[in-house]
């Protein structure tokens, strides 16, 4: 990669914005009614449990960024385990993470079709491809341009979140949190769903070489954004259910959740509720689009790293950069994989969430194993208990992913497995060369 001037690198605030833009958004919104339907009033408990459960993993990744400020997932696993582990870690993240971008794009188009009449007559998958093409084009531009785009998206997505919190202060009913409204029987099945709403904290690891003072600001960006997002997620689900109660459990999809809340808040002025619905749909759609843009913006550098280490076919092609120092072939490859997800899953939420959660968990596992070996060989002053608990995190997530595949079907596993198989064949072929 060509040298990037210090003045062109991303600041700590910009790195935090990238993480927030990916983490806060469609995962939070589409989970609203699903969590209520599965566990009732315990939806916010799922987020709280995840926030605590995930902490050793967060601290472990932050430590790895401090040790390898310019490495990313490939370096975390390769350094102490080997190049195949580094490849598997980076490739699983690169391919799996893109599924989350498709969830965001598809959800945003469903929302916009409700409020923009001409869009309702256009095939939803055609809209998905159109937006994906636009984002691929925008991600060919300068890093600073991408930063500005994400700031706009971040401001938009805060509008519905602030409203839910504000309305909760007026509509909240303690009776909605009666013991009878808590359903713990399927609590474990919510883990992949809430994990999807939390993953994204690691986005800056892919961009760490483009962050100022990466060894300090990289870990800070992860920890600060994680604390902000988990607080938002807990309060959002808590106030939403506190306002609607069991009514939220029967909302169906996330498309019906906000209309219910608005109808209750503006019960005496239904015309305002109707107008507000359009505004919130646009804000939520913008939130989803911002997250998708952020994923594509940061993720291309994982493929670039693999190309730099000659683990992909025609590595030289993926190392070429345009006038804005963007590896354009890597961005185009993202677009191709996203298109496969669109047509392979038909935009269904759960299969895409399964792919995203499973792909990221594989990457986390290899990375934390790398930190464990570093610690065991006394190459870092980290307590050995940190990676051990981090691996326990990963074990829980792997089990929950397996349970999700068992409960909801293995269609997504076949799609993701095909990408992983292609990656392994590619790695073995390039290794012989």
CATH of the domain at 144: 1.20.1740.10
Nearest to 286 by CA among 90, 131, 68, 93: 131
388 within domain boundaries: yes
Quote the tokens at residue 211. 């962050």
Give the DSSP H/E element, type plus range, for residue 348.
Answer: none
Percent of the chain with pLDDT over 90: 30
Distance CA 69, CA 356 (A): 24
**Mapped to the 3 state alphabet, what secondary structure does 226-259 carry?**
HHHHHHHHHHHHHHHHHHHCHHHHCCCCHHHHHH
Question: How much is the pLDDT for 356?
Answer: 87
Give the tens place of pLDDT for each residue, 3-39: 455 556 677 887 787 777 777 766 788 788 889 999 9
Quote the tokens at residue 170. 């007026």
**Mapped to the 3 state alphabet, what secondary structure does 56-111 carry?**
HHHHHHHHHHHHCCCCHHHHHHHCCCCHHHHHHHHHHHHHHHHHHHHHHHHHHHHH
332 within domain boundaries: yes
CA distances from 134 to 27, 105, 131, 292, 296 (A): 22, 11, 5, 11, 11
Q: Which of 114-128, 316-330, 398-412 has the lowest mean pLDDT?
A: 398-412
1 within domain boundaries: no
Question: How much is the pLDDT for 174?
Answer: 92
Contact 42, 184 (CB under 8 A): yes
Model pTM score: 0.79
Q: What is the mean pLDDT of residues 124-152?
A: 79
Question: How much is the pLDDT for 144?
Answer: 57
Q: Three-state DSSP class for 323?
A: coil
The parent domain of residue 101 ranges over 6-432
Nearest to 68 by CA among 225, 219, 201: 219
Which residue would you say has higher pLDDT here, 159 or 93? 93
End-to-end Cα separation, the chain, in angstroms: 22
107 within domain boundaries: yes
Which residue would you say has higher pLDDT here, 66 or 424? 424
Question: Among all chains, which residue has been given the structure tokens 């079907």?
Answer: 409
Confidence of residue 114 (pLDDT cuts 50, 70, 90): confident
Total number of domains in the chain = 1
Task: Report whether pLDDT(1) > 50.
Answer: no
Residues present in the chain in total = 433
Q: Which of 156-160, 220-224, 384-388 has the lowest mean pLDDT?
A: 156-160
390 within domain boundaries: yes
């Amino acid at each position: 990669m060509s040298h990037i001037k210090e003045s062109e690198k991303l600041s700590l605030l910009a790195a935090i914005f990238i993480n927030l833009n990916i983490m806060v958004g469609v995962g939070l919104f589409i989970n609203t009614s699903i969590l209520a339907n599965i566990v009732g009033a315990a939806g916010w408990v799922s987020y709280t449990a995840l926030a605590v459960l995930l902490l050793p993993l967060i601290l472990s990744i932050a430590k790895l960024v401090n040790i390898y400020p310019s490495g990313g997932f490939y370096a975390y696993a390769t350094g102490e385990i080997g190049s195949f582990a580094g490849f598997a870690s980076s490739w699983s993240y690169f391919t799996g993470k893109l599924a989350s971008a498709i969830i965001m794009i598809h959800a945003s188009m469903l929302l916009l079709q409700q409020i923009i009449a001409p869009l309702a007559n256009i095939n939803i998958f055609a809209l998905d491809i159109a937006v994906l093409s636009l984002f691929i084009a925008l991600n060919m531009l300068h890093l600073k341009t991408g930063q500005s785009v994400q700031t706009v998206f971040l401001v938009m997505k805060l509008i519905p979140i602030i409203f839910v919190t504000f309305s909760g202060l007026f509509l909240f009913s303690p009776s909605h949190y009666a013991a009878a409204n808590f359903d713990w029987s399927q609590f474990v099945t919510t883990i992949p769903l809430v994990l999807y709403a939390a993953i994204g904290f690691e986005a800056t690891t892919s961009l760490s070489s483009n962050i100022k003072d990466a060894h300090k600001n990289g870990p800070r960006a992860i920890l600060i954004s994680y604390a902000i997002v988990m607080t938002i997620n807990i309060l959002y689900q808590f106030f939403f259910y506190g306002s609607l109660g069991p009514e939220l459990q029967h909302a169906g999809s996330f498309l019906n959740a906000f209309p219910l809340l608005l109808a209750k808040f503006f019960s005496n002025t239904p015309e305002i509720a109707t107008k507000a619905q359009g505004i919130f749909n646009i804000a939520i759609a913008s939130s989803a689009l911002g997250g998708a843009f952020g994923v594509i913006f940061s993720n291309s550098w994982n493929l670039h790293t693999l190309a730099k280490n000659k683990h992909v076919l025609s590595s030289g092609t993926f190392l070429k950069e345009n006038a804005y120092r963007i590896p354009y072939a890597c961005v185009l490859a993202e677009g191709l994989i996203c298109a496969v997800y669109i047509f392979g899953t038909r935009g269904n939420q759960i299969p895409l969430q399964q792919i995203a959660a499973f792909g990221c968990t594989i990457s986390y596992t290899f990375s934390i194993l790398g930190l464990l070996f570093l610690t065991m060989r006394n190459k870092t002053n980290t307590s050995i208990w940190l990676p051990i608990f981090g691996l326990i995190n990963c074990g829980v997530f792997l089990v929950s992913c397996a349970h999700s595949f068992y409960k909801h079907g293995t269609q997504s596993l076949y799609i993701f497995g095909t990408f992983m198989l292609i990656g392994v064949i590619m790695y073995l072929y390039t290794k012989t060369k």
